[in-house]
Amino acid sequence: MTPIDHVAFQARLQPGGLAAVELANGRRWTYAELDADIARAVGVLRRRGVGEGDRLAVLAKNQVLLVILHLACARLGAMFAPLNWRLSASELHALIEDADPAMIVGDDQLAAAGLDGVDLDVLRAEIDCADPDTRARADRERPSLILYTSGTSGRPKGALLSERNLDQTAINFGRLGKVTHESVFLVDAPMFHIIGLITSIRPVLMHGGAILVSDGFEPARTLGRLGDPTLGITHYFCVPQMAAMLRRQPAFDASALRRLTAIFTGGAPHPAPDIRAWLAEGIPMVDGYGMSEAGTVFGMPADATLIDARAGSAGLCMPPVFTRIVDEQDRDCPPGVPGELLLKGDNVFRGYWRRPEDTARAFTEDGWFRTGDIALADAEGYHWLVDRKKDMFISGGENVYPAEIEAALADHPAILECAVVGVPDPRWGEVGHLVVTCREGAVLDLALILSHLEDRLARYKLPKALTLVAALPRTASGKIQKTVLRERLLAGDPRT
């Protein structure tokens, strides 16, 4: 019988090879054991009424069982719908209504959200004693995952991703990230996010390496694990904010991390000074670009010299990923000129769950996906993400990209984090308003900001106002909510 997915293939290629470890309790799975557990989960889900086209909603912290259930859904033809446990109860209930699942499973997050469902410990016990169900035949074209976007500017949408989409992300990241059968990934990014559920898992399982699954990110604990030679971790993927927390730990010791292939970041801009600080410690810090709808799109080479030469770049795209950068009339931009990034390829999603109008708006008539991100590329094919299209504002007829201003402030010693939004101005149409969270004990005013920026940016890009706040508003997945920030500024909200 032909293996039906990469785990099944590895179970035949290296049945005794280590596939997964649950760090919370030390349980280990070989590829043969993981393949068998997926087959058992198929049978359990089928008996509980989950079939082809149905949704399995999951609300839980990371554990290997989530990986098993997702792959079981793929074999069944069902759709795995992981929910963000950081959301409020009302937000979660809205997602449940949208997903309309045949079954809800979870851990103690279910009770906290007031949701009824099957406890994962109960489901695990059923799977452990079930017989494998090998009747399933996975269809690579059928969606196996509904991944809800973070919703920075409205109600979250469910991106439909097929096994073909997810395989292409595994291929893209695997080649860019030097993934092999000897790779060991630490997985502690949440599995409701594409970094935690796909990018940190599918490439290594495709190549026959191992995943070490943690129930979550705790800076001191994560740092200790990355430096532990007995665990042998080679790859770690996180968002830039998590990487910064690791460096700030009192126990940070760069020498313990130098055997890593690299630390990989995505999900948010990563300032060039921060990247070079890691490089100076002898640790490759590999930035990239991806999204729920398209998985891994760009990535820097895992080579310190190449990274240093273009620190801040999102990197190169793989040959199977087709890109265009276009102006407002959809004309192609020359190298070095920013425009909206469009994508095509097997990594690009099928559409949004039950949102035909949103799906239609997301694609051009000839099938290019509109990312909504402003990017530019150099002549060598390296890409930079300039900003979100919706965050751009026009001041005196000039396009201004807040992310460019924020990047220029990344090395300011008084600034912990910042955001720029465009606000109405009677003279210029719009101007930039800078909102800053200061480092402890720091003193900051607009004159100091302008002194820092005036030799770095054109005058029309300089912010015209400054507001200091204790914290910036964020989504449940950690992204700054610029829409909320702008609304607060316009309303004179002191929380701004």
**3-class DSSP string for 176-202:** HCCCCCCCEEEECCCCCCHHHHHHCCH
Tell me the C-alpha distance between 442 and 448, whole Å. 12
Strand 262-265 versus strand 55-59 pairing type: unpaired
Phi then psi dihedrals of residue 374, to 5 deg: -90, 125
To 10 degrees, what angle do helices 64-76 and 31-47 make?
Answer: 60
The amino acid at 351:
G
* DSSP annotation of 460: G
Cβ contact 90:64 at 8 Å: no
For every residue of 106-122, DSSP letters joined together read ESTHHHHHT---EEHHH
In the chain, how long is the greatest CA-to-CA distance?
A: 72
State the pTM of this model.
0.85
Tell me the C-alpha distance between 423 and 433, whole Å. 7
The pLDDT value given to residue 152:
45
CATH number of the 392-491 domain: 3.30.300.30
Show pLDDT as tens, one digit a residue, over the chain (496 residues): 566 899 999 999 999 999 999 999 999 999 999 999 999 999 999 999 999 999 999 999 999 999 999 999 999 999 999 998 988 788 899 899 999 999 999 999 999 999 999 999 999 999 999 999 988 777 889 999 999 986 544 567 999 999 999 999 999 999 999 999 999 999 999 999 999 999 999 999 999 999 999 999 999 999 999 999 999 999 999 988 789 899 999 999 999 999 999 999 987 778 899 999 999 999 999 999 999 999 999 999 999 999 999 999 999 998 899 999 999 899 999 999 999 999 999 999 999 999 999 999 999 999 999 999 999 999 999 999 887 778 888 887 777 889 889 988 999 999 999 999 999 988 888 899 999 999 999 999 999 999 999 888 888 899 999 999 999 998 766 778 898 999 999 998 767 6
The residue whose two tokens read 């292409």 is 168
* DSSP annotation of 255: G
The pLDDT value given to residue 404:
84
Tell me the C-alpha distance between 168 and 56, whole Å. 23
Domain ranges of the chain: 6-384, 392-491
Tell me the C-alpha distance between 42 and 59, whole Å. 19
CA angle 185, 137, 179 (to 5 degrees): 20
The pLDDT value given to residue 407:
87
Tell me whether domains 6-384 and 392-491 share a fold.
no
The upper half-sphere exposure of residue 209, i.e. CA atoms within 13 Å in the direction of its Cβ, equals 25
The pLDDT value given to residue 280:
97
- What's the CATH fold of domain 6-384? Rossmann fold (3.40.50)
The pLDDT value given to residue 103:
98
The amino acid at 356:
P
